[in-house]
Chain A
Amino acid sequence: MLYALMGLGLALITGVLNIPNFAHGALFAVGAYLLASTANLIGNFWLALVVAPLGAALLGLAIEYLGIRRLYAAGHDYQLLFTFGLALILSEAIILVWGPVGYSHLPPPVLRGGVDLGFTFYPKYRLFVMVAAGLLVLATWLFLEKTRYGAIMRAGIENKEMVSLLGIDIHKLFTAAFALGAYLAGIAGALTAPIRGLSPGMGVDMLGIAFVVVALGGLGNLLGAIAAGLLIGVAQAVVAAHWTEASSVVIYAVMAAVLLVRPQGLFGIR
């Protein structure tokens, strides 16, 4: 579900803004660090879980408004270089603010330890993350499908010029889409912090997976991103149960297999 959450955010940015956001992993890391700092500061994990992704969304908003907006006419090379450079800057900024050494952030006391599910033993916190990420994916999907602004975003993915001609401020749409994508990356990072811990490079692995999800689902396709996130998550879990050592490779094997059959991805049309 976390993969779907990350992939959905990246697919939204790729779809609406039509740019490859290499800073998505760094926004994931920012979400994780903000959660740990906020929780330590206010002593409340749940409130921190609300605040941290909002911080990532604000950062996303600033990135779009101050940086990416100026590069829409410049072409993909410049956008790619900008987001790649931004990813490096954010990683170094994390080192400057929080230091180069990784650390752990514990789940809230009520979610510590594991539960016996009968067929397996599983950590309570991971179960919580599964449910929370599932609900977030559902909420995002409902927002995009059932609200007027969601419809505008989807229309923006299909045809930006048409949306613009209808009198909708396309720049505001871009900013909102980037901020929402950053929010999803931030909350994925915040939820992951107690599982994977915090380290300045933590976004790199997740960035690779997010791009796999987007490519697998079909570039910019939101439903595709959700389906692809679930597919590689399930594939990884099934392979890990029988052949643990191959659990990381299976993500890329699934992508290669699907793209050989459907080069446009599961739900893609381009």
Chain B
Amino acid sequence: MGKLKRRDVLKIGALAATGLGFPAILRAQSREIVILGLWDQTGAFSDVGPLNDRGMRMALEERDMKVLGRSIRYITRDGATQAGASTRRAEEAVDGEGARFIVGPWSSGVALAVSEVAKRKKVVHLFSGGTEDISGARCHRYSFQWAASPYTAAKTVVDNFMKANPKAKRWHLLVADYAFGWSVEKYVKEVGKTHGIEFVGADRHPLGEREFSNYVQKAAANKPDAVAMINFGGDAVAGAREIFNFGLTPRLPLIMSWSSGVEELVQLAPEIRDNLWVGTNFYYTVDTPAAKNFVKNYQAQFKLPPGYAPSAAYSMTHMLLAGFDKAKSDDVQAVVKALEGLEMNDIVGPMRVDGATHQTLRPYFLLRCKPKGAMKHELDFGDVVATGDAPLPKEYAACKDIGPF
């Protein structure tokens, strides 16, 4: 009998792995459900990604990382706030890790690209953001939108702001120059028309802008009655700070049309928040049992109450898990069908997924920030002064046919 060669050892090892190990691996793989959280850890939304991850992780841990009696394997990838990186990493997770359910990313423009991957790879995709296209012109069977429609947001903010400030008829807009900004701007202008608002200026700025002095100079020159920003995160904080430095606020009201809430407000001094009106998809004092429970657990872990970013990830994950429960299956098409028309009472209150467009019909909130003297504690940023859930009117609906699988 000849000596055992290295090549023979490798062959035996490979056979052993195939015969003994692989079925076990395959069994484990077929039993676990892989869900991808595509959250930005770098790029313009690098500050938001970790918050998204917190929210999603909390929702999964509440269920002990299990659904349908099977383990959930939660994997995350850095979307880098870029379409190229996000789509590449989503595809790698689908092909290499067996992920068939994607939640995220955060940027509307990037999410639209990921939505195309979901369509091509036939995997479920949940997203929360301000673009109307995911549940509009570029709708398809696999992508779902959790955030309120830009129309719902604009209607809630403009109608209720004008109710409180009927004389503020000259508005200057500062708009983030990407899919989210364009969508919300469109409906702010549409709803504004019904109130006779004159838009005396509308400047667009790139995502990640930090120097707002030139934009605010232009706004001041237009002598508006109110300034409305349609931007998010660091852009919104930098903009609000500069508007205060120019002395426009608190003399004029400033509207943050689509804010993350807590995460932005905590970065602004109380003096800057004076006469600030904030539209948001979630605020931590929303009076629902699910929100109370979530806020309590979140604050116990992270001190600050949750804003829109962790809340959206948390509730999207709830929605996906409810889809599994309703479908009693992890088959992609079965989960999609279950999500279509799904009704649930979650952190923002009653929600229903419109089966025809995949838009979640849900409330949107308008806060009025408190002056420093009226704050009861340092996190008492403001009160929810209005809630609105007006759905997108049919004449604006761009999703005519959600299409086949």
Contacts and interface: CB of A to CB of B under 8 A. Distances in A.
Interface of A: 100-107, 112-114, 120-123, 125-126, 194-197, 199, 205, 237, 240-241, 244-245, 247-248
Interface of B: 47, 177, 203-206, 209-211, 213-215, 217-218, 220-221, 234, 237-238, 241-242, 245-248, 263, 266-269, 271-272, 304
A248 to B, nearest CB: 7
Contact of A105 (B205, B237, B269): B269
Nearest to B268: A104
Nearest to B215: A244
A101 B304 contact: yes
6 contacts: A104-B269, A105-B269, A121-B221, A123-B245, A240-B211, A244-B203
Given A104-B272, A197-B237, A244-B205, A121 B267 contact: no
B267 A102 contact: yes
A245 B204 contact: yes
Contact of A101 (B204, B220, B263, B269): B263
Contacts of A197: 237-238, 241, 267
A17 B203 CA distance: 45
B205 A102 contact: no
The 3 A-B residue pairs with the shortest CB-CB distance, nearest first, are: A113-B247, A240-B214, A114-B247
A101 B210 CA distance: 16
B267 A247 contact: no
A241 B267 contact: no
Contact of A126 (B204, B213, B267): B213
A244 B263 CA distance: 27
A245 to B, nearest CB: 6
Contacts of A205: 210
Contact of A121 (B246, B269, B272): B246
Nearest to B221: A121
A174 B209 CA distance: 37
A222 B205 CA distance: 34
Contact of A103 (B211, B213, B218, B266): B266
A58 B206 CA distance: 38
Given A197-B237, A244-B205, A112 B267 contact: no
Contact of B206 (A113, A195, A240, A245): A245
A104 B241 contact: yes
B391 to A, nearest CB: 34
A114 B220 contact: yes
A245 B205 contact: yes
A94 B271 CA distance: 25
Given A104-B267, A104-B268, A104-B269, A241 B214 contact: yes
A239 to B, nearest CB: 9
B217 A122 contact: yes
Given A121-B221, A245-B177, 17 more contacts: A100-B47, A101-B266, A103-B267, A104-B241, A104-B269, A112-B247, A113-B247, A114-B220, A120-B221, A121-B246, A195-B242, A195-B245, A197-B238, A197-B267, A240-B214, A244-B214, A245-B204
Contacts of B218: 244
A209 to B, nearest CB: 11
Contacts of A126: 213, 245
A100 B238 CA distance: 16
A126 B213 CA distance: 10
Contact of A247 (B211, B237, B269): B211
Contacts of B272: 104, 106
Contacts of B246: 113-114, 121-123
A195 B212 CA distance: 10
A121 B210 contact: no
Nearest to A113: B247
Nearest to A241: B214
Contacts of A101: 263, 266-267, 304
B203 A123 contact: no
A121 B217 contact: yes
A195 B237 CA distance: 11
Contacts of A195: 241-242, 245
Given A197-B238, A241-B214, A106 B221 contact: no
Nearest to A104: B269
Nearest to B208: A248
Nearest to B271: A106
A113 B177 CA distance: 28
B245 A194 contact: yes
A112 to B, nearest CB: 7
Nearest to A121: B220
A247 B268 CA distance: 25
Nearest to A249: B206
Contacts of B237: 102, 104, 197
Nearest to A100: B47
Contacts of A248: 206, 209, 211
Nearest to A246: B206
Contacts of B217: 120-122
Contacts of B221: 120-121
Contacts of A199: 234, 267
Contacts of B245: 107, 112, 114, 123, 125-126, 194-195
Contacts of A122: 217, 246
Contacts of B241: 104, 195-197
Given A113-B247, A244-B203, A106 B269 contact: yes
A176 B295 CA distance: 52
Contacts of A100: 47
B296 to A, nearest CB: 20
Contacts of A247: 211, 214
Nearest to A194: B245
A244 B242 CA distance: 15
Contacts of A105: 269
Contacts of B215: 244
A106 B272 CA distance: 9
Q: Count chain A CB atoms within 10 A of each CB in B215, B221, B241 and give the residue with the most.
A: B241
Nearest to B213: A126
Contacts of A240: 211, 213-214
Contacts of B271: 106
